[in-house]
Amino acid sequence: MKAITFATHGGPDVLRLEDVAEPTPTADELLVRVRASALNRADTMQRRGHYPPPPGESDILGLELAGEVEAIGANASGFKPGDRVFGLVGGGGYAEKACIDYRMAMPIPDGWDFVKAAAVPEVFFTANETLFTLGRLDAGETVLIHAGASGVGTAGIQMARQAGARVLVTVGSEEKVARTEALGAEAGINYKTTDFAARVLELTDGAGVDLVQDFIGAAYWQNNLKCLKTAGRLVLVGLMGGAKVEVDLGLIMRKRLQVIGSVMRSQPLANKIAITERFRSRWLPELESGRLQPLIDTSFPLAEAAAAHQYMEDNRNVGKIMLVMD
């Protein structure tokens, strides 16, 4: 089969479309003919050598997929060859075939194409877990979502609004301000031209927000703490701006703040199955009804994965960047 590989770590130019051996499903897995996958920041980190796959997972990039079942493991149930499925995987999505645990696979709703289905799992799972399961966001609360124009950001804006929360976001251009506000954010803050902490306090009359969802890490640490109201929660989802900070523990104690970390890929399979079920019960009906939509920026053929990575690293996208196998 064809898959995207890289022999050395580095920039997008290290990616190659090559022939590799087909994966063999375990007793609990489905073998899927992949029709679409999607980019995530984790892919660019793995390509650079900073985010290796967990033990036992494919070293091929790609954390989500949509396609057709080709073969079924001895213990897998509920599916048959030809079924259209989508779901989250630990790796392997940038290939013509991949394996997924049958308990992580979901039937693609009627009327959805493969690209739409592949745009859902990573971003909506991550948004649900960080905003609601860990962040405990509730109706009437205010959340600050960083990287508001990203796939997770655009999913989170919709989900938070659907839950009755007030949504503020940071983005990197005035175009993205407009796009995220049209999606449902009350205010988009261009972090390149505005002190986002000062603007958040202005928008909240000095009170701050109940929850911050952060993908940046060290570079935003101090301003994130400034943004939080007393008893606020900070959920760390990424470290694009570094991992080392000097911490004023007194501030965290005085404001009774909670700092919560989240990494999905390395969690045990049982946790990922539970994450899948939480998404299916709360948010899949909202997506099926059309009340929520995955926001797709653009699609690239699998052979142009390097160009897709460059597009992501140039921060050009609003929503998901897709890879299409056909």
Residue 127 is predicted with a pLDDT of 98
Could you tell me if 296 and 251 lie in one domain? no
Mean pLDDT of all residues belonging to the chain: 97
Residue 190 is predicted with a pLDDT of 98
Grouping H, G, I as helix, E, B as strand and the rest as coil, residue 114 is helix
Residue 59 is predicted with a pLDDT of 96
State the total domains in the chain.
2
Confidence of residue 206 (pLDDT cuts 50, 70, 90): very high
What confidence tens digit (pLDDT) does each residue in 62-73 have?
999 999 999 999
CATH of the domain at 273: 3.90.180.10
Residue 320 is predicted with a pLDDT of 98
Residue 220 is predicted with a pLDDT of 98
What confidence tens digit (pLDDT) does each residue in 309-318 have?
999 999 999 9
Could you tell me if 131 and 257 lie in one domain? yes
Q: Could you say which of 211, 246, 261 is where a domain stops? A: 261
Q: Mean per-residue pLDDT for 243-261?
A: 96
Could you tell me if 129 and 176 lie in one domain? yes
Could you tell me if 139 and 237 lie in one domain? yes
Give the range of the structural domain holding residue 297, as residue numbers without chain letter.
Answer: 2-120+267-324
Write the burial class of residue 49 (CB in 10 Å: 0-12 exposed, 13-18 middle, 19+ buried).
exposed
The 8-class DSSP code of residue 283 comes to: T
The answer to whether residue 326 scores a pLDDT higher than 90 is: no
What confidence tens digit (pLDDT) does each residue in 228-248 have?
999 999 999 999 999 999 999
Residue 205 is predicted with a pLDDT of 98
Could you tell me if 138 and 239 lie in one domain? yes
Model-wide pTM > 0.85 = yes
CATH of the domain at 165: 3.40.50.720
Q: What sign for the dihedral angle of Cα 197, 195, 204, 165? A: negative
Confidence of residue 31 (pLDDT cuts 50, 70, 90): very high
Could you tell me if 256 and 144 lie in one domain? yes
Q: Could you say which of 261, 293, 316 is where a domain stops? A: 261
Residue 203 is predicted with a pLDDT of 98
Could you tell me if 86 and 168 lie in one domain? no
How far is residue 251 from each of residues 39, 193, 216, measured CA to CA in Å?
A: 37, 27, 20
Could you tell me if 236 and 143 lie in one domain? yes
Could you tell me if 128 and 102 lie in one domain? no
- The CB-side HSE value for 47 (13 A sphere, CA atoms) comes to 25
The DSSP bridge pattern shows strands 16-19 and 2-5 to be antiparallel
Could you tell me if 115 and 130 lie in one domain? no
